[in-house]
Structure 1
Amino acid sequence: MSIQKSLYKVAMVGSGDVGKSALTLQFMYNEYEEEYEPTKADIYRKTIQLDGEEVQIDILDTASQEVCAVIRDSYYRRSDGFLCVFSVTNEKSFQATHEIRELVLLLKNDDRVPFLLVGNKSDSKEERKVPLSECQATAQKWGVTYVETSAKLYQNVDRIFLDVMRQIRSKRAVHSNEPNGRRKAMKKGWHKCAVL
């Protein structure tokens, strides 16, 4: 009988043309393409080693263009963690992360959702528009990790996926250690209530 592997569902979110697909394809296949079609929304699955444990990761590479809000919201709700990607060469894509963060928190109804802020295209130093200090300050304000990546140079690609998976695992461990007594106490309290 095969043992069920832990499954981690990670959503790549962010504006168009920031490198979400490039990061995903590098992680999945060690492939980098300079030019590719805009993503409609793809799901990839891979079995990997996470700190000595064999696990599976599902990566939802969200659409660059505006997708139906109902579909997008459904994807967000089903995801365990988020890699919020912007390009350090594009100020607008950085500003968009604020709105995305708000939407994730709203849909997950949880301000401790596993979430990394990812500044991609760090290899394009001459074209940089978003200062490192601003990126770090935003991450600190949100209480999340900030990581700079380069899909082109395979810089920190594995790290972002493994980091968000570790956050998901930690959150699951906290939930599994919560005493069931709380739920039982609520039930007991309900039985004691008298309808007047």
Structure 2
Amino acid sequence: KFVQEYKLVVMGGGGVDKSSPVIQLIQSHFVDEYDPAIEDSYRKQCVVDDEVALLDVLDTAGQEEYSAMRDQYIKTGEGFMLVYSITSRQSFEEIFTFQQQILKIKDKDYFPMVVVGNHCTRESERRVTSQEGQSLVRQFGCRFVEADCKTRENVEYAFFELIREMRDYEE
């Protein structure tokens, strides 16, 4: 039986733990220490809504400053996970820039993406409200998930929402 493959790109500003959701999904454990300078690619097979999906996940890990590389992985990506930390307003404000870059390079008004507010269990440090996240994705026309990699809360769900977004886009 044919297995659909999905090329996902995880993007976000420096220091938002973008790599953690990826490692959580792939290896099912939380990694406290990782080297954010290394771009990495992971593959995982999973079942989303009774259909098998092979995820090919490129973790851009804070390499956004190399614009030629960024353009290249945006060109090849089929779906994008834009990650910010709910404890960092700056990381939230950068999400709009990533979205604009993706649409410009893809030359589209819409492209499959999901916005993820990471660290959702760190409520006392929150600098970005859930409502602000919801409001942003309404502008983008995409899905929004608040997740926390340490507790695994909504990590798999965030990836599955992106797959659903990509499937809707293909139809």
TM-score where L is the length of structure 2? 0.94
The residue type equivalent to 2:156 in the other structure is D
Q: Distance in 2 between matches of 1:50 and 1:134?
A: 28
Other-structure match for 1:57? 55
Deviation at 1:63, TM superposition (A): 2.8
Q: Distance in 2 between matches of 1:128 and 1:98?
A: 19
Contact 1:39 1:61 (C-alpha < 8 Å) held by counterparts: no
More helix by share: 1
Other-structure match for 2:72? 74
Deviation at 1:154, TM superposition (A): 0.4
Matched residues, number: 171
TM-score where L is the length of structure 1? 0.83
The residue type equivalent to 1:106 in the other structure is K
- Paired residue secondary structure (1:12): strand
Matches within 5 A, 1:104-183: 104-173=102-171
Structure 2, unpaired ranges of 5+: none
Query: Larger Cα Rg: Structure 1 or Structure 2?
Result: 1
- Paired residue secondary structure (1:138): helix
The residue type equivalent to 1:121 in the other structure is H
Q: Which runs of 4+ in 1 moved over 4 A?
A: none
Q: Distance in 2 between matches of 1:10 and 1:40?
A: 17
| 19, 42, 56: which one aligns with 1:44 | 42
Q: Deviations over 1:79-111 (max 9, x none)?
A: 111110000000000011111111011011112
| 79, 82, 94: which one aligns with 1:84 | 82
Q: CA RMSD in A?
A: 1.3
Structure 1, unpaired ranges of 5+: 174-196
Q: Deviations over 1:50-73 (max 9, x none)?
A: 222222110010031444211111
Identity %: 32
